Structure formats: C-alpha cells, structure tokens
Structure 1
Amino acid sequence: MKSSRILPRFAASAAATAMALSLTACGSSGSSASDGLTVWYAPGSVPKASLAVQKKFPGLKIKLIPTPNLETKLKTTLQTGSGLPDVVVIGNDISSYADISNKFVDLKTMGADPKKDYVTWKWTNGTLPDGRVIGFPIDTGPQGLFYRTDLFRKAGLPTDPAAVSKLASTWDGYRTVAEKAKKAGFRACDDANQVYFLQLEQKGQGSFDTSGKYLGDNALTRKAFDYSAKLLSDGLCTKATPYTTDWNSSVAQNVLGAFVAPVYEGPLLATAGSPKGVWRVANPPGGAGSKGGSFMSILSSTKHKKDAYKVVKWMMSPANQASGFKTDGLFPSALDSYKMPELTAPQPFYGGQPTGVLFAKVAKESPTVPVTPQDNIVEGTLTQALKLVAQGKESAGAAWKSAQTQIAKELKR
C-alpha cells in the first residue's frame, strides 16, 4: 500500500476521530462462532497468495471482505459498536488509533516478537505509545534512484548500478547527475517531493518526534526543503507528479530519465510505455530511507483471538509476502522473504538486474521514522509549498514561511 508520505491525504484530523471513538461505550462485539472469522482488507493491500487462507485452515470459516474506504468504515463501525470484523488491514496512519488502543489486541500477547522476523522499523511503526503492538507488518516502501541507461550513456554518466550508486551516494552527487542530465536534454528528477521527504526519512525524522514535538521547522527540514526547491527553480525537474498523465508523458517522451521513488512506483514505467530493459535502480542518494505500507490488526472484540492470530501470521508469512512482490508489487517486510527467488531473481524489465536485492538492503537499513496522526497536515502543506515553487508562484523562502504559518494554524485547531 502506498505511503501517505508520498501521496498525502487531506482529511479531518484522525486525532479528533480517535477521541470520539474513545468516548464510545465499550459495547463492541466481534463475530460469533457461527459467523466465522471476518477479515476486512482494502483491495490490493495484501498479497493475492494470502487470500488462499481458507484452504490453509479448512476447519475455520473465514470471510475475506474486500473493503474500499476501509478505515473510514472501520472508524464508523467502532463508533456504532456493532458489525466489527475480527481482523482488519490498517494503513500507515495506524498511530491515529492510539487513543483507542484497547480496541485492538496487543500482538505481543499472542506471541509476536517485535525484535525479530520482520524489519525493525515496521514493527516500531505498528507499536503505539502505550507499548501495545497492534500492527502486524505487511508491506514496506524502500526508496531507490530509478534511471535510464541509454539516457545516462548519452549524458556521459555511468550506467552500472554500482557506479551510479557511488556517483550519487550523496545529495551533492545527485545534484551533479541532475545537472548533467539537463545538459543532455532530459531530467533526473520529477516533482522533487520525494527528494524532500527522503532526506528526512534517511535521518529517521518525521514531522514530529516521539513526544509529539513539531519538527517541521527545524534546520534539517529547512535544508531539505531548500535543496528540493532549488532543484525545481533551476529547472532540473520535470515538475510532473507520479500517477498523472503528465508524468507518463515525460517517461514516454524520454524527458524523465531518472527519479527518486519508492519501490512501488517502478511498475508505473511500464504503464507509461517505457521499453523493457533500459531502466535500472541505484541506491537512494544520501542513504537508506523507507516508510509506509500497511498492517494487519486484530480487534479485541473478537471471540477468536488465537484463530485470528494464526490467520494473520500465515497471511503475512515470508512465502506469501515474497509472492506479493512478484505478483502484486507489495515489497515484503518479512526478512526471510529477502532470501527467496521472487526477490533475488533477475528482472527482465530492469535488464536482468535483481532489484529486489537492492530494495531489501534499503528496507533493512532504513531508520525508524515516527508516525503521528498530524503528519498529513504538515506533509500536505509542505508538498503544496513545493508545488508553488515549481509553478514559479513563490520563492523557496516565501513558500516556506507561508507553509509554516499555515501549519501553525492547523495544529492549533
């Protein structure tokens, strides 16, 4: 599942919703034994292989219910206190449930060990401030530098992933690549939004620290913003946003020859009509950075906690997660998945490069980034500020100042 850090969602404060839920009488009821075990999941949020769970547990009656707008429905259902599932998929904003953590099973009580089997930062993001682990890891979003070998060759740049990783190992090095790309007639940056956020992620910094202190106006954040804004103002980016027709056109017309992005944006290249075999992936500039993905949670109202945990653990097994990478574009959080053929096999689209190996290393080395319910306010506002710079409507300094003023107002509400 895509990270909200990459595609900010604008919605009412999740904290307010959680507060309302915390005031709801504890009358929730899970499914009865005759109803079976119910699992809500957003379409595309779990590996297709995991949907064969009924065959794995023929003695259980398992209802798998694909649920669009899942979390909106979940929060509404938690308020009414009836019709709750036993198991549910929750996105990267799992911290918004902190005020009602007692409505979810602490997975440690079921045998989960947040120090093993899955990437550490993913376990940490599924852990609430009170220490309850309510999120079983699903996918992750390690980042990399996607680049086109034929265009790099044209610009006099190296084409081997190891050589490109060395050249662009720092943000100064990436800037050099972007400048040479521009001279050769293409761009090595799309909208600079992900360049900005990656600089924070690889330092383990979110918009707030673990105590809730706002960090979006500190020196690191400002430096990352100014760097990204200068890429835009100097014409080193296409200024096209992923998942848009403009972005697809920039790929198809050989205008976009490199970009920083999470693993799940790789399939966009084929969708945009790019030829097979010319793209490769290098390490992300500045170091490992990763954030995002979803979790499986068990409702404390369920009468089938042990069965629910068995189902969750099997659905998110290393084998199923490895299959999810190959078939569904979901990058695993299970460490044993990284050794499996689905991750280590050469990929024809990338000229035989086993990109899963690179992304696995990034995922394992990425620091933990604190996630809070207020993140979307900050991230959405700063994303809009960079957009104003890209459009030439504001300077970096003016955009930064107005963004901080807007954020301060929003956080006071």
Structure 2
Amino acid sequence: MTKPWLKTMAVLSAGLITVLPAIAQDTANTEISGDISVWTWPNNDRTFEALLPAFAEAYPNINVEIQGYPTANDAYLNTLQRGMLSGSGPDVAMIEIGMMALLRDRPQWVDLSQEPYNAGEMLGDFAEFTVNNVTLDDGKVVAMPKHTGPGGMFYRRDIFEEVGLPTDPEAISELFSDWDAFIEEGQKLVVPNERWVIGNGEEIVRAMMAQAGVSYFDEEGNLQFDHPVFREALEKVEVAADAGMISPFAAWTPEWQGAFQRGQLATVMYGNWFGGLLKRAYAADQEGLWGVASAPALEGNRSFNSGGDYIGILETSDNKEAAWAFVKWIVSDEASLKQQFQSDDLYPAYNPAGDADWMNFEDPYYDGQNVNEIFAPAQKELIPFVLHPLDSVAANAMRTAVDNIARDIMSVDEALASAKETVQARM
C-alpha cells in the first residue's frame, strides 16, 4: 500500500476553493492549567516567546517554557532525538519539513487523531499536502501543520530600475518567463565581482525540481538524481555561473547575509518566510526597495514550496491537555496566525487564514505590493515533495554538486555522479 503522505498531489484548482470557515478564536479557559515545555529552533523560539502574552489571554493558567536549540536539522534534531529515546524530551516539539520523514514514524508522538484531540475534525481546513505529511498509514496523526513556504522571487526594485529592467512584479514575471529568460535578462543585473543576480545555484535547482514535481526520492524510495530535471537544473547553474550571475558566498554565512545589506544580490528565491528575514535582519533599512515576482517557469509551472514546519506532542508529556491547548492555538487561532504572519512573514498552513485582511494588504516594505497575490497561487498550485528519511543527505550532496559546478571544479556529469555515489553510500 502506498502511504498517503507519499502520494503526489495533482495541481489544485482555484475553482475548487469554496467559502472557507471563519478563523478560530479561543476564549479564555481557566479550567486548563499547568506547566508545559516547548522545544524548537531559532528564530522560532523568539516567535513563540512573542506569542505568549496573547496565548495567556486565552489560557491564563498555562505556563509555557520555550527552549530553542541551534539549527532545525542539526543541534535541535539531535537533541530532540536523544530526548525522545531517553524519555526526557519536552511536552511539545517542532518538526521542520526536511526532518518529517525521519521523525514521524517514531512511536513517541501522541496520536492526535484520537480522543480527546480529534485532530481529524480540524485537518480538512489545512493545506492538503501538509496533512499528508503528518498522517501515517494507519491514520495516526503525529503533528499539526503550522506553516508552509510558498515560493517566489524576491527582487531589488532599485537595482532593476538602475539597469533599465522593469520594476513592476507582473512585468518582471513576464520578462523572466522561464529559466532561459532569467539567465539571458538577468545578466544585465551583474556588476562583475561586485553584484550578482542570485546568492547560490542551489536556489535554481530547488525551484526547478519542485516545479517539475520531482523529489530527491520517489514513492518507492529510489534516488532520483538520474531524472532529467537535475541535469537540466545543474546545466542552468553552470551557464549562470559562467555569466557571473552566482555570488561566491555560501548560503546562510555572515558574508551571504551581509550581501543583502550591501546591495550585492539582485534576487533571491525562497518561501514567503524569507521576507521576515529581509525586514528584520538582512535588509531592515530597505523598505520600499524590494518586490516579489513569480519564479521563472519550468514547462509553464512557476510554483514551488520552500520550507514548512509542524508541531506535535510527546507521549512522555505530563500535561497533554495543556500541550494540546497550546498546539491547537498556535496553528489555528487568529491571534496566533496574524501575529506570526505580520511579525515574521510565516505563511499559515491553515487555509481559512488565506482570505484574511491581515494577509492581503499593501505592504510598505514591498512598495505597497500585496505579495500574497504571488504566494497564494503558489500555495494552491505547488506540487508537494515526496519526503524521505535521507532527504537531508541528498540535499547536502546536491548542494556540494552545485558548488563544484559553480566554482568550475567539476563538470555536470562529474558532479552528478559524485552526488549520487555519496547518497547511495548511505542507503
């Protein structure tokens, strides 16, 4: 039997969207009380801390202790796995989408489909692919979807204007109609050794494989590096690198982060959440200079997902009632979702939020653009990834392949063969 979370979804039709139910708003409940611990990673720990006053209005007698561990797929993952095995973990734990396949079959998760949680009554209101990601063969629900990462192309309006390219999102989407056009037109944005079009070639590969509906592994667990889209994407990286479009900075390093502040990167392709980093960290003083356009298309598809997270309860929790109150409030209450979106640009997995005024407004940071006009269609039309426990291994191997090609260390053939060998050694 094919597991339900491994079924590749067909592209969702906007015509299937009907009137959505109202967003939940919890009222004060003094009957539920006690202490709970929540484990997560930066900057989610800061997000949760900021939410605690609003949560206390609904649940004044629940005390929440937030603990953040560095990096979702490194220190946090290792700490959580040790805690689960030893029975010393938290009441509530976050799961990053890249770690979901590695963690979801662990027996330590509370089954949220059962009484008194009855999560199945809620899950119809969440993005379908997120529900598939948390639902096991036997119907067990291991966590609740929290946020997704509908993707787009963030771009510097002023840099585009400087070189004579359009600055309007629709015009840019038309100009960068596909990846060949992105490379051809994008070269105009380059200032050799001073300014680049994109931070790293991995952004191109991730978007193209998602647009093609191809994951690192197929539904049967076979590595898919031989799929033509990987070669096509890496060839685009090679051409872009030869044209001086890709920066020399490794993603997430201080040098890469500083490049945004210095105006050295004209575009970046990530999920909606990246806007929160621009606004509050990487480019906080650049209000009005950024816009968001659709990503270049692959065979007509511009949509891709970039990120997402989930939140569950561990069986070792001594206060599951309070833990469930927190989880439910975090993922579906309007006060929670509004604050997370407005403060950190976190895109709700909870569908009823999509039509809310606080998600559809003229954002001054983007020069008055309503960026949800880009991200909402991306969410509806994306083809979800098939998740696999070795996704992080495959992602690291592909990242190395991209770097070796961009730096002219290996050919596309050599880089693909090396990446394939690296992953197969772990299978």
SS at match of 1:292: strand
Out of 80, 83, 92, the residue aligned to residue 77 of structure 1 is 83
Q: Check if 1:317 corresponds to 2:332.
A: yes
Letter in 2 for 1:150: D
RMSD: 2.7
Task: Using the TM superposition, give the Cα deviation of residue 51 of structure 1 relative to its aligned residue in structure 2, in angstroms.
Answer: 2.3
Task: Output the TM-score relative to the length of structure 2.
Answer: 0.79
Out of 281, 297, 301, the residue aligned to residue 292 of structure 2 is 281
Q: Check if 1:112 corresponds to 2:119.
A: yes
1:295 and 1:264 mapped to 2: Cα distance? 15
Q: Give the aligned partner of residue 327 of structure 1.
A: 343
Task: Using the TM superposition, give the Cα deviation of residue 99 of structure 1 relative to its aligned residue in structure 2, in angstroms.
Answer: 3.9
Segment drifting more, 172-181 vs 283-292:
172-181
Equivalent residue pairs, number: 376
Out of 86, 92, 95, the residue aligned to residue 87 of structure 1 is 92
Out of 132, 138, 142, the residue aligned to residue 134 of structure 1 is 142
Segment drifting more, 85-94 vs 61-70:
61-70
Q: Contact between 2:154 and 2:293, CA under 8 Å: does it hold in 1?
A: yes
Out of 200, 205, 208, the residue aligned to residue 196 of structure 1 is 205
Q: Check if 1:166 corresponds to 2:174.
A: yes
Task: Output the TM-score relative to the length of structure 1.
Answer: 0.81
Q: Give the aligned partner of residue 22 of structure 2.
A: none
Task: Using the TM superposition, give the Cα deviation of residue 306 of structure 1 relative to its aligned residue in structure 2, in angstroms.
Answer: 4.8
Q: Check if 1:340 corresponds to 2:356.
A: yes
Task: Using the TM superposition, give the Cα deviation of residue 290 of structure 1 relative to its aligned residue in structure 2, in angstroms.
Answer: 0.6
SS at match of 2:152: strand
Q: Check if 1:290 corresponds to 2:305.
A: yes
Task: Using the TM superposition, give the Cα deviation of residue 117 of structure 1 relative to its aligned residue in structure 2, in angstroms.
Answer: 1.7
2:187 and 2:225 mapped to 1: Cα distance? 28
1:81-140 Cα distance to aligned partner (Å, 9 max, x none): 3x343322222212212442x322232223223752222222222234554221211122
The structure-2 alpha-carbon separation of the partners of 1:357 and 1:398, relative to structure 1 and needing over 3 Å to count, comes to same
The structure-2 alpha-carbon separation of the partners of 1:245 and 1:399, relative to structure 1 and needing over 3 Å to count, comes to same
Contiguous gaps of at least 5 residues in structure 1: 1-32
Q: Contact between 2:150 and 2:375, CA under 8 Å: does it hold in 1?
A: yes
Identity rate, percent: 26
The structure-2 alpha-carbon separation of the partners of 1:208 and 1:313, relative to structure 1 and needing over 3 Å to count, comes to same
Segment drifting more, 301-310 vs 397-406:
301-310
Contiguous gaps of at least 5 residues in structure 2: 1-31, 70-74
1:367-398 Cα distance to aligned partner (Å, 9 max, x none): 21112110111110110111122222222222
SS at match of 2:295: coil
Out of 208, 219, 236, the residue aligned to residue 217 of structure 2 is 208
Q: Give the aligned partner of residue 419 of structure 2.
A: 403
Task: State how 1:9-408 maps to structure 2 within 5 Å.
Answer: 36-45=35-44, 46-48=47-49, 50-52=51-53, 53-58=55-60, 60-68=61-69, 69-81=75-87, 83-92=88-97, 93-100=99-106, 102-109=107-114, 110-113=117-120, 116-182=124-190, 186-269=195-278, 271-273=281-283, 275-286=286-297, 287-302=302-317, 304-319=319-334, 320-408=336-424
Task: Using the TM superposition, give the Cα deviation of residue 305 of structure 1 relative to its aligned residue in structure 2, in angstroms.
Answer: 4.3
The structure-2 alpha-carbon separation of the partners of 1:42 and 1:267, relative to structure 1 and needing over 3 Å to count, comes to closer
